Amino acid sequence: MGIDPCGTCVTTSKQEAFKTCDVLIDFTTAEAMIEHAQLAHEHGRALVVGTTGLGEPEMAALKFASQKAPILQAANMSVGVNLLLSMVEKAASMLGTEYDIEIFEAHHRHKIDAPSGTALALAQSVAKGRNVNLDDALVPARYGQIGARPVGAIGISVFRGGDVVGDHTVTFAGDGERIEFSHKASDRSLFAKGAVRAAMWLGGQKPGLYSMRDVLGI
């Protein structure tokens, strides 16, 4: 049994993959992604990166690769999440520090990192909207006698349990009202769909470093 040849090459060779592909999609590890960025630079091939947990070395590798190849990096490939990133940045720019900002994220019990890359991206978006340095405002965890909430703090609360695919809510809590922006993922295929949409868009772009916002035009 089987199917007729479809013209698709399946290989375990990274060199061959980069030689023959139009666009390569990376959902691996931060360490592996650095090598893939180097290969994208070497072969001038478009690279979509959905790998999370990237630090300064990984981002530097992507910026270097973008000199010779179109590179798209996003903490979350969901179209809805990227719309959420834009919305909370706008809200943060309009609401003053009298509104406390708290980001809640929930994922399945097997997720190994916390906060999620998406939660950190949301925190970066609201910090950008408020024109503040995230490192100065971020409160990633709380325990014990912590005292009153600092003015301008951007808090993150984390839940791990069950088979939750991924929930994110950004709350702007003021006196007398709360404004909430939420995204709840119920099917992991949405990340694949977003990555394919990104790949189709990226294939026709010039070398440079892009994001899902470029794909969506926001």
The catalytic residue positions are: 107, 111
DSSP string, 73-127: E-S---HHHHHHHHHHHHHHHHS-TTSEEEEEEEE-TT--SSS-HHHHHHHHHHH
Give the span between the Cα atoms of 160 and 9, in whole angstroms.
Answer: 39
Give the span between the Cα atoms of 213 and 218, in whole angstroms.
Answer: 5
Tell me the Cα Rg of the chain.
19
The residues with which 61 forms a beta bridge, in sequence order, are none
- Locate 169 and state its tokens: 């809510």
Q: Looking at the chain, which runs of residues are DSSP E strands?
A: 23-26, 46-49, 70-73, 100-107, 138-139, 154-160, 166-174, 177-185, 208-210
